[in-house]
Structure 1
Amino acid sequence: MTLSLWLSLLGASMLISLTPGAGAINTMTNSINSGFTRSIWGILGQQAALLVHVVVVAAGVGLLVSQSPVIFSVVRYAGAAYLVYLGIRLITAKAEAETELEKRGAESAFSMFRRGLWVNLLNPKAIIFFLAFTPQFIRPDEPLLIQYLIFIGTIVVVDVIVMWFFFAAAAKGFRRFTSTARGQRILNLVFGTLFIFVAALLALVH
């Protein structure tokens, strides 16, 4: 991969990561509820899903999904349903003051990783996106393995940086609201509604 092509990939990756979506909402929610440092576990789960998407596209399965309306619809509605589930769970969650949260204990790293994985994995738009995006930066006449490693490595590193140092860091300012049950209810309502809004976009916008 030439330097100019890699710089184009770098710029495109930054723009993509900075675009708000379910991953960004999930990251901010984790940062507010579990803290900036521990929010990395949800981000890593999201990166694992990106790896799966690239492998799926590279293996040609992405083409099958994109050309099969039935398969695409099943994945699309499953993803939307999962986001609605997360939204409703946030909205209906019992609000607890910060001291109560500390007594109950923080969410486990595995739980945050798993949720991050499913948030990105159940997004068929990501498969279609990578299906259109990947060929722009992969040259079939050059060694494929090193190109794919550079491709996914760039995307993952950029996404981790943006998610952690932009979205998770931005959410730190909301942490003061979790010191009261009322503040936490408001934040849960806001972020739960955002999850449902993104789900509606995923299900209805083609």
Structure 2
Amino acid sequence: MSTETFTAYAITCLLISLAPGAGVISSISTRLNKGFTCSLWNLAGLECALSLQIIAVICGLGAVLASSEVAISVVKWGGAAYLLYLAFSQFRSASTTGLEKQINHSSSGFDIFAKGLLTNLSNPKAMIFILALLPQFIDLRESIVSQYTIMGITMIGIDAAVMIFYTFIASKATNLISNEIAMKRINQAFGTCFAAMATMICLVKI
């Protein structure tokens, strides 16, 4: 892979990661509601899911999923249902009292990891997008395996860096937002975003 091709690919990955999506909202929401440690568990879950999607594409499972109407429908509606669950959780968080928030704040690392994992896996368009993106930057004259490995590591690294950036922004906001009413409005906004994403998945034909 030439330097020019790799640079173009890296820029593409950066722009994709910067675009607001379920992962970004999950990163910001987790940092604001659960704290820094939980945000790291959420990040691990998000990137683990992205790793699984990339591996699935490389192994050919992405093509199988894209060609199977039943499989894509299961992932699509399951993903939409999970995003609606996240929306409900955000609205529920917005209505909890101070004591209840202290209890909710003590979520285990595994729970937060699973949330991040399922958040990224719940979007069937992501795997199909990766399936369409990666081959565009492959040089058939060079080792396919090494190129896919470099591209996968690059995509995960850039996405992780962007999520950390959003988490850092959220940490600054945490210092400014001490008003419980303001946090309630923010959680309601996150809930609305998750619900909107679920609606988009339902309406868009994949």
> Same fold by TM-score, threshold 0.5 exceeded?
yes
Distance verdict in 2 for CA 1:10–1:76, change over 3 Å: same
Provide, for residues 128-174 of structure 1, a one-character-per-residue CA deviation record: whole Å limited to 9, x for no partner. 10110010122343222321221011111111111111x21222244
* Residue in 2 that maps onto 1:60: 60
* Residue in 1 that maps onto 2:201: 202
* Residue in 2 that maps onto 1:189: 188
Contact persistence 2:34–2:105 (CA under 8 A):
no
Contact persistence 1:17–1:162 (CA under 8 A):
yes
For residues 110 and 37 of structure 2, the distance between their equivalents in structure 1, rounded to whole angstroms, comes to 14
Q: Could you state the TM-score of these two structures normalised by the residue count of structure 1?
A: 0.90
Contact persistence 1:96–1:181 (CA under 8 A):
no
**RMSD of aligned Cα (Å):** 2.0
* Residue in 2 that maps onto 1:120: 120
Q: Which amino acid aligns with 1:193?
A: T
Cα distance, 1:17 vs structure 2 = 0.2
Q: Could you state the TM-score of these two structures normalised by the residue count of structure 2?
A: 0.90
Q: Which amino acid aligns with 1:90?
A: Q
Provide, for residues 57-79 of structure 1, a one-character-per-residue CA deviation record: whole Å limited to 9, x for no partner. 11111112111222111111110
Contact persistence 1:96–1:184 (CA under 8 A):
no
Q: Percent identity of the aligned residues?
A: 36
Contact persistence 2:42–2:116 (CA under 8 A):
yes
Aligned length: 204
Contact persistence 2:83–2:122 (CA under 8 A):
no
* Residue in 2 that maps onto 1:170: 169
Cα distance, 1:178 vs structure 2 = 6.1
For residues 201 and 88 of structure 1, the distance between their equivalents in structure 2, rounded to whole angstroms, comes to 17
